[in-house]
Every structure is written in structure tokens, then in C-alpha cells.
A and B are shown apart, each in its own frame.
Chain A
Amino acid sequence: MLRLFLFELFKLFRLRSARLGLLSAFLLPFLWALAPGLKEVYGLVLASGWQVVSLSLLAGMEFLFPFLVVMAASEALGSEVAQGTLKSLLLRPLPRTLLLLAKLLAVLLYPFVLLSASFLGGLLAGLPHGLGPFYGGTGLGEGGFAGAGLLTPDRALLELLRAHLLAGAVLTPLASLALLYATLFLSTAAGALAAVATLLLMRLLVAFPALTPFLLTTYLDLHLRPQAAGLGLSLLFIYTAGFALLAVLIFRRKDL
């Protein structure tokens, strides 16, 4: 199983969407560090390199990172269908469940790698602004970007790591959902579009207040609300596991 997972991971990072995603996540912080309109849009004048890291996370999580994760997860299966290698794999004495679980683990790891690339890019792009103590905030803790006095590098790093980990957790059900749709449609584009459409539809369900606490989309900003992590992480895990279970059930009887 470990070798199968490692192979799936290797294949995942050969995908165009996965590579493009990593490159974008790494390079975008440099763009943000040079953006002339930050004050107008975010009310922010960069005071520290740590703020570049958090700005990249906040901007990326609005749409780009979820989209990149959905694309990569969908392509993880869709590309194998398109190039015919899925059939070759299924001709081997390998349970379908095992194969899909190996793929699932690989795509669940991808959001964390993507966010690591963003984090690393943010640190490098933020170097000219310095990574020492500063008066202000990361935008993720008390007082937003204005902060609440002097912020030490340890504290800033801690806030950013926690936010990136929570953001990674937020993205995992999206990866699972995209893999579910890719299993259903056996196509990268259809899988990704269906996942995005589902999220947009879920967002519309805010009109039903009783449902709101249980909607996946309610927790897409969990990295900004660590106080909601208890219920949020549990629900995200349930969504991830539920989508994965459905994907396995479909894949086990899927004609190829």
C-alpha cells in the first residue's frame, strides 16, 4: 500500500494542473509583495514579510487554491482515464478500493503541499520587508493587519502555521469531492466543474439558516476563525470521509 501511495503521489506531481498549481502558489506572493493597490483593496501597508505570507493565503483561499485543488484531484483520475492507464492498473490483481484509496491519500496531501509552496513563496517574497518583530498583525489574529501592538516572529509564525494547517484541512473535502465526481464522470473537466458547481450551490443554501452550521461552505474560512475549529474540523472530516466513501462505492462497480 505504501508503494502504491508513493506511486500515486509521484503521478500526481507529474500532472500539469498540480505543477501549475504549485508554481502559481509559489509565485503569487511575489506578485502580492509588489502589488500597488493593497492599501485600497485590503487597507494594508506592508510592514513585515509575515504579512506577505498571510496575504497570499487569504487571497489564495478566496478562489484560487480551492480551484487548484479541485483541478488536481479531478485530474488524478481523469488523466489516467484519458491516457488509458487506469485500465492497465485495473487489469492487475489489485482491489479497486485500494487503488482509489491510494489516489485519495495522494490528493488529500496535495492541499498541504500547495499551501507549503505558498508559505515558502510568501517567506521569500517577504524577505525584503523583514521577518523580525513588527507593530501590526498577520491579518489572522487579534486586530487583523493592524494588530495589537508588537508582534514577535514566534507569534507570527505560529499564527501563520495554524492558519495554513486549517486552510489545508478546509481544502481536503474539496479534493475528496472532486475525486468523487471524477470517479462518477471519468473525466477531469466534468469532475472539476461538478465539484465547483456543488460548492456554488452549497453557498446558495445559506438562505436556509437551519442548514448553515452543517454546510461545507460555512467552513471554507476556518483558517480565519480558529475558535470554530472544533465543530469545523469534525464536519470537514465527515465531509471528506463521506465523499471518499461514495467514491469508493461508485468505483467498485464502475464500468471501464
Chain B
Amino acid sequence: MEALRLEGIGKRYGRKPILEGVSLTVRPGEVYALAGPNGSGKTTLIRLVTGLAFPSQGRALILGEDVHKTPAARRHLGAVVEAPAAFYPYLTGRENLRLSAYLTGVKEEARIAEVLARLGLLAVADQKVESYSLGQRQRLGLAAAILHRPKVLVLDEPTSGLDPEGVDLVHGLLRELAREGVAVLLSTHHLQEVSRYAHKVGILGGGRLLDEVALGSREVYRLEAHPLEGALALLRALPQVASARIQNGAILFEGEREAVLKALLNEGYRVEALYPQGFDLMAYYQERVKHA
């Protein structure tokens, strides 16, 4: 069963649609990164997934339970929806976590120390949160989110406001949690960072899910052929080609190399070069967003 499943979820305010018909799934142990320009609907989607906002259409399921109809579904959910995460400033970091522990049914005091240590916050655990830096608050937010060992983690810009060490710490933690079987959905503008360990990237634009890119399984080839436009049209017509686009005077395509080569030669195109190229997520993202 998918840990997180969105079925045609959408949100509109009055007549204005903010998000339309987004469907996606995140399996246990999978990291799903949401990318998109400002205003594309990332934060709205996060608010819908976590039950903070109610959908105008569709539904969000956490381990099969509708998050908007069953508040108890959130027992499986850990989330940070603001940067920096919000806490009661007059309580210490540890006291804030104790409150979270009470609300999520965590009874072991040792677990609080464990997550504080994991996020590098033990030294400031007994200081009031009002004295924390933005980065410390952000890390405390993550500590609160993982305190009850959630099966689904939803994070809005988890590395926002963090220094490079903090960024590494968070990415390391997310990798570790995914290995432990936690499904992670995060929104980010830092595609290069998350592409190192994310399994899927969802590209949002204009309130729609424009594309889903499965990382790791993408084999991309660079083709230099003449005439270029005609070759592109041919590739796009081939069933063995998943996608094709022009970039810097060449065609980048995903698909079966041999079938492409054969088709090009059969049609009389001059093939000057054809070789594998690492998948450039950032370029792909920019291309998708530009054409949205």
C-alpha cells in the first residue's frame, strides 16, 4: 500500500483555482520532491496533504485513511509546514517537544533526548525557543516532526534558513529516514541537492502537476543529427522514445538508443553523434516550467 496517496486533489478560492487535479503516490521508503516556481501551488498542496486546508476536490490518504475525514490518520504523519517552524517561544526546546510528545502519544522521555541529539540540539535543549536562531528553530521543527516515528513525513522547504552544515544534516536525516521505510514528501527550490537522493520529482506549474520524473531510472541520450528539427519530430513520433527535446544544438531524449538510431538512418538523417548523458534535472525542470 502507498504510504501517501493523493487522488485528484484540488483547491480553489471562489472561482480561482489554486491547484487542480493533482494525483500522486509516495511509497514507504520513497523520497518525493515537489518542485515548481513560486505560486505554482507547492505550499497549498502541502497544506492539503497535512490536513491544514480542505480540498475543493479529491482526497488525500495517509496509509489508506482520509486525512480530512479521520484526524487520527495524522498519527502516522510528521510535518513541518513553515520556515522556521513555529513553537511556543516562552517554553524551552525540550518543553515544546514534551508537548508534541503528549499530543502524539509518545511516552518515552528518552525519545525526546534522542531526537534532540539527532538534530544537534542537545546543547540548547533547555533554552527558551525565543533565544533560538532560525536554523535551530528549523531543526527543532524537524525534531518535533520525527518525534513519534511517523511513517509519512511532509516538509515544506526543510532546508530553508539553514547553514551548509544544517542542510547536510537535514539531507542526511531524510536519507536515513527513507532507508528506515519512511515516505518523504518535500517541497524544494534546491533540486540539485535533493536529486542526489530523491526517487521522484513532481514538477508543479500553474496549479497542475506538469510532470513526474523518476530519478535513477532515467537514461538520457544526446543526439547530434541533421536536420535537427526533422529528427526531433521523428523521435517524438517513435513509441520507443519517452521524451525528446532540443537543448544547446542537440536533441536530448529518453528511450531506446538502437531503435532511434535505426529509424534515423532509415529516414536518411545524418547522425553525427549519439551518446549517453547524465540526466540534467535542473535543465529538464526549466524546460518543463518554461513550456507550462
A interface residues (Cβ-Cβ under 8 A, vs B): 3, 7, 11, 14, 83-85, 87-96, 253, 255-256
CB pair B74–A92 under 8 Å, yes or no, is yes
Residues of B within 8 A of A84 (CB): 82, 85-86
Q: How many pairs, one residue from A and one from B, have CB atoms within 8 Å of each other in the complex?
A: 58
28 A-B pairs within 8 Å (CB atoms) are namely: A3-B102, A83-B86, A84-B85, A87-B52, A87-B86, A88-B85, A88-B86, A90-B51, A90-B52, A91-B50, A91-B51, A91-B52, A91-B79, A92-B103, A92-B104, A93-B71, A93-B72, A93-B75, A93-B77, A93-B103, A93-B104, A93-B105, A94-B71, A94-B74, A253-B54, A255-B53, A255-B54, A256-B47
B86 near A85 with CB under 8 A, answer yes
Whether B71 and A96, one on each chain, are in contact in the complex, defined by CB atoms closer than 8 angstroms, is yes
Residues of chain B with a CB closer than 8 A to A7's CB: 99
Known pairs A88-B86, A91-B81, A93-B72 / 10 extra A-B pairs, C-beta < 8 Å: A84-B85, A85-B86, A85-B87, A88-B144, A92-B103, A92-B104, A93-B73, A93-B74, A93-B75, A253-B54
Q: How far, in whole Å, are A193 and B104 apart by their CA atoms in the complex?
A: 35
Q: Ordered nearest first, which 8 A-B pairs have the shortest CB separation?
A: A84-B86, A92-B103, A93-B75, A255-B53, A93-B74, A256-B52, A95-B71, A91-B79
Does B100 belong to the interface (CB within 8 Å)? yes
B239 at the interface (CB under 8 A from A): no
Choose from A14, A92, A255, A256 the contact partner of B90 (Cβ within 8 Å). A14
On B, residues with C-beta under 8 Å from A are: 47, 50-54, 71-75, 77, 79, 81-82, 85-90, 99-100, 102-105, 144
Taking CB atoms, residues of chain A closer than 8 Å to B88 are 11, 83, 85
- What separation, in Å, do the CA atoms of A88 and B74 have in the docked complex? 12
B94 to chain A, nearest CB (A): 16
Given the known interface contacts A84-B86, A87-B81, the answer about A92 and B100 at a Cβ–Cβ threshold of 8 Å is yes
Q: Which residue of A lies closest to B90 (CB)?
A: A14
| Complex Cα spacing A255 to B99, Å | 23
Residues of A within 8 A of B77 (CB): 91, 93
CB closest residue in chain B, given A82: B86
A87 CA to B47 CA, complexed, in Å: 10
Task: Please give, as numbers and ranges, the residues of chain B lying within 8 Å of A90 by CB-CB distance.
Answer: 51-52
C-alpha gap A155/B73 in the complex (Å):
57
Contact partners of A85 in chain B: CB under 8 A: 86-88
The answer for the CA separation of A185 and B208 in the assembled complex, in Å, is 29
Of all chain B residues, the one with the shortest Cβ separation from A256 is B52
Q: Give the chain B neighbours of A256 by CB distance below 8 A.
A: 47, 52-53
Question: B52 to A255, Cβ gap below 8 A?
Answer: yes
B50 nearest CB neighbor, chain A only:
A91
Q: Which A residue sits closest to B105, measured CB to CB?
A: A93
